[in-house]
Structure 1
Amino acid sequence: MKKALLAFAFLLFAFSSNAKPPKNQYVRIKTAYGSCIIRLYNETPKHRDNFIKLTKEGFYNGTLFHRVIQNFMIQGGDPDSKDTTKNKAGAELGNGDVKYTIPAEFRDSLFHKRGVLAAAREDNPAKASSGCQFYIVEGRRFTPGKLDTVENTRLKGRKIPPSQRLVYTTIGGAPHLDQNYTVYGEVVSGIDMVDLIAAVKKDAKDRPISNVAMTVELLSKKDCKNLDKLLFPKENK
């Protein structure tokens, strides 16, 4: 019996090690400031699948980027921002949501580098994510000393891995958010759109003076395959 179980375990391991990784899914966000393409992470399947579901339903079409902070991030996805009585200049947005949250999916390898897509959330002990609101990090570059300060204050002593410190000092990001908000995708094309939106004129509540509406679409299988070939040539030989 033990030999049979060991043989089965070996076959299962061999099958799983040879299995191809799940295919990548991409979405395109279009605005008056251009568009960007985002790859959704397979490492965060709950967030990935929820974003795909809402995109297919057209949920995000017509919603606004209602909160923008230059050198930090742009936030959108509030369903209330579609309401013509609430999307007028000066009206407060950011409180709308769907009737569910998503469990946090923190991964050590996923961090708040420039260009990542992450889930907004209300304060809650489990750090569960909003079911619809998201942000894209514009970020800024940090000196090693500033990263030390972030570790000791905002991250409560958690050490940022050397490889991630290198990214934060050269490319930039928002390290103080790591392991507090779920990162579930990244911009692979069109980061200029994020920079332009982050720089628009805004009011005292960080809402753009002129509405920045979006449409979000899921890329076709053909488009996804072509992007995979471009981004991951070794895996597609």
Structure 2
Amino acid sequence: MKIRYLILFSLVSMLSCTSKYNDNNRYIKILTDEGDIVVKLYNETPRHTENFIKLTEQNFFDGLIFHRVIKDFVVQGGDPETKNAEQGKLYGEKDAGYLIDAEIIDTIYHKRGVIAMAREGDDVNPEKKSSSSQFYLVVGKVFSDEELNELEVNLNKKLREKTVEKLYDSLLIDSKNLNQKSISQVTQKVNILADSILKVKHIKFNENQRKIYTSVGGIPHLDGNYTVFGEIVSGYEVVEKISSVQTDSNDRPLKDIKFKVHLVK
């Protein structure tokens, strides 16, 4: 997605927040018009965690709105232009003015209730660097094993199509005058290379992912593409409520939902 940035904790941990934050993690509270959400920020993603804390201490988020809300998908905010949002205007182009190097960890998934940073698409951002302020809270859905199998097939199909396209771009430079035989040879070469690449990059959900997505739920196709840097420990029901509000054709809620972010610990 353009800079319109597009996107296993137990069910008990989502719905119950400990009164004493007696661990080594940092916590923030997102105060919304619909209720409060407490989020634990991961130590495993220090750049993202420290950046979010810095912006929170600067009151950067206070008064912004959730400008992108998609039922059974995500609740997204963090565009500073939404502090004085105009009715019906499309937002999602701005952030704090810099990017954050990706901290994508292959054991941290897009399970229901996590927080992650949005980003520009791979075409302009192949390093998957994160937006400095636009974040999203994952809602997603619970999948069956059959649905995960089908998703794997579709994701690998799209991956192969993109791989083939990139290979053609690299092999057919200045090739407008190729004859039919040359085109056939290039096509054969591309297919061989694509098959070889896909053997290494083949997408397959592991046992832990399947356990999470068939029980807690989430958005499995985002794994490996965006940095997840925390999880909700209290107030997930608020996110669900927000995700169900009426929106316009640009996924912006018809009634603005403002929020603030404060440090808890």
Q: Which has the larger radius of gyration?
A: 2
Runs of 4+ deviating beyond 6 Å: none
1:105 aligns with 2:103: yes
What is the distance in 2 between the residues matched to 1:204 and 1:50? Answer: 32
Aligned to 2:117: 119
What is the distance in 2 between the residues matched to 1:210 and 1:118? Answer: 24
Aligned partner letter, 1:178: D
Aligned partner letter, 2:24: K
Aligned partner letter, 2:146: G
**SS of equivalent residue, structure 1 residue 166:** helix
**SS of equivalent residue, structure 1 residue 121:** coil
What is the distance in 2 between the residues matched to 1:162 and 1:110? Answer: 13
Identity over aligned pairs, percent: 46
- Give the CA deviation at 1:98: 1.8
Q: TM-score, normalised by structure 2?
A: 0.72
Output aligned runs, 1:160-175, within 5 Å. 160-175=205-220
- Give the CA deviation at 1:154: 2.6
1:132 aligns with 2:177: no
Aligned partner letter, 2:37: C
- Give the CA deviation at 1:26: 0.3
Give the counterpart of 2:258 among 208, 213, 217.
213
What is the distance in 1 between the residues matched to 2:54 and 2:262? Answer: 11
**SS of equivalent residue, structure 1 residue 152:** helix
1:42 aligns with 2:12: no
- Give the CA deviation at 1:153: 2.5
Aligned partner letter, 2:102: A
Unaligned runs of 5+ in 1: 1-21, 221-237
**SS of equivalent residue, structure 1 residue 146:** helix
1:23 aligns with 2:5: no
Alignment deviations for residues 91-117 of structure 1 (CA, whole Å, 9 cap, x no partner): 010011122100111111100000000
What is the distance in 1 between the residues matched to 2:260 and 2:229? Answer: 19
- Give the CA deviation at 1:68: 0.3
Give the counterpart of 2:248 among 203, 208, 223.
203
- Give the CA deviation at 1:161: 1.6
Q: How many residues align?
A: 196
Aligned to 1:91: 89
